[in-house]
Amino acid sequence: MAKTGKPRSGSMQFWPRKRAKRPQPRIRTFTKIDKAKPVGFAGYKVGMTHILFTDNRKHSMTKGESLRWPVTIIEVPPLQVIGAKFYKKTYGGATNASTQVMYDKLDKNLARKLTPKKSKEEKKLSDLKPEGYDEIRILFATQPSLTSLGKKKPEIFEMGIGGSLTEQYEYVKENLGKTISVKSVVEEGNLIDTHAITKGKGFQGPVKRFGIALRESKSEKTRRGPGSLGGWKGHAHFMYRIAHAGKMGFHQRVEYNKLLLKIGEDPKEINVPGGYVRYGELKNDYLLVKGGVAGPAKRLIIFKEAIRPNKKLGMETPSIEHISVSSHQG
């Protein structure tokens, strides 16, 4: 019996396969925490390596043994607090109250980026009272000039703050214009959710794009196409379920419950001879995250505390014995 060329199970897990508008992800829902601090941070993906560590999970079958895990390296230079946004809750969710506070002494790269986007409702923090709003979110700006990426233009994104409304207001008041390090936001052994834009792969056929099976060797016209175009073909109409060629990749994706294994402060202990492929050498703090993270090297990764943590996956601060720093050049 001939193969029909239907997509494999799970190929429609994400539909429509809409490409992202920009290489910077956005977060729609922020984790609720009790402590007054940002619930997330951001960094640049460097690449991957592997570590050896002693398993300290309570109920693990390999407790006390030395394990080898692949890890993703994310460079996390300090973020600058450049402002805040004030929100009111409505029937459809939190709505921007058209009120924002901006730091008035920004450097020229930030000021140039924000000039055409300044809000007419921009106010001073001292003129606002938290009682008139329901939520306050912080505005972060990255500092790529501190890295070896070779660019000056920062990325700007907003992040939720934990604690009560009054604590959120006080946090913004205390830190407006200052820089924040990653250690003040997340801790080793925590679970985080990573938000990123996947690697773009260009125009691809349906076999690679949807994973459909190859047709029989004696099939007419093509082997790498769908077996049927559907019952409406005479109307020049094709159902959206038909696997066709098209642009693949460059999608926004969220990966839940990624294990944060290490927050490193000395980039010398992680740099490899010749630098990492398509990235270079690290100059700032870095994270080691278990497994892979979406996106190519140099792409911005925004991460936050897990919104639905699986306690079985978490662990105490791991005892890392060895980090592989063998050269990745060729």
pLDDT in tens, 292-320: 999 999 999 999 999 999 988 888 888 89
Whole-structure pTM value: 0.90
Beta strands at 93-102 and 122-123: parallel, antiparallel or unpaired: parallel
How confident is residue 120, by pLDDT bands cut at 50, 70 and 90?
very low
Asked if 283 and 147 count as a contact pair (C-beta separation under 8 A), the reply is yes
Which residue carries 């990624």 as its tokens?
258
User: What Å distances lie between residue 206 and 170, 209, 248, CA to CA?
Assistant: 53, 5, 10
CATH of domain 40-78+181-200+251-330: 2.40.30.10
Query: Residue 193: its pLDDT value, please?
Result: 97
Q: Does residue 30 sit in helix, strand or coil?
A: coil
Report yes or no: 141 and 155 within 8 Å, Cβ to Cβ. Answer: yes
Residue 121: what pLDDT?
57
Give the DSSP per-residue string, 176-227.
Answer: TT-EE-GGGT--TT-EEEEEEEPPP-EEE-HHHHH-PPPPPTT-SS-SSS-S
Every domain range in the chain assigned CATH 3.30.1430.10: 79-180
Q: How far apart are CA 160 and CA 149, in angstroms?
A: 27
Q: Could you tell me which CATH number the domain at 79-180 has? A: 3.30.1430.10
Residues with Cβ within 8 Å of 296's Cβ and at least 6 positions away in sequence, in order, are 45, 199, 278
Residues of the chain with CATH 2.40.30.10: 40-78+181-200+251-330
- Which band of pLDDT confidence, cut at 50, 70 and 90, is reported for residue 77? very high
User: pLDDT by residue (tens digit) across 31-51?
Assistant: 999 999 999 999 999 999 999
- Residue for token digits 């703050």? 161
Evaluate if residue 140 carries a pLDDT over 90: yes
Phi and psi at residue 280, in whole multiples of 5°?
110, -155
73: β partners: 47, 288
**What per-residue confidence (pLDDT) applies to 8?**
52
As a whole number, mean pLDDT of residues 171-194 equals 94
Q: Which pLDDT score is estimated for 122? A: 65
Assigned token pair, 215 = 């047709």
State the chain's mean pLDDT as an integer.
Answer: 88
pLDDT at 218: 87
Predicted confidence (pLDDT) at residue 24 exceeds the cutoff of 90 = yes
CA atoms of 263 and 283, how far apart (whole Å): 14
At 234-277, the pLDDT tens digits run 777 888 888 899 999 999 999 999 999 999 999 999 999 889 99
**pLDDT of 5 over the 60 cut:** no
Among residues of the chain, what percentage have pLDDT more than 70? 92
Burial class (CB in 10 A: 0-12, 13-18, 19+), 39: buried
Average pLDDT estimate for 149-173:
92
Mean pLDDT computed over 212-229: 90
Note the pLDDT of residue 71.
96
Question: Is it the case that residue 70 has pLDDT exceeding 90?
Answer: yes
Count CB atoms within 10 A of the CB of residue 35: 10
User: What integer pLDDT is reported at residue 115 of this predicted model?
Assistant: 57
User: Residue 232: its pLDDT value, please?
Assistant: 67
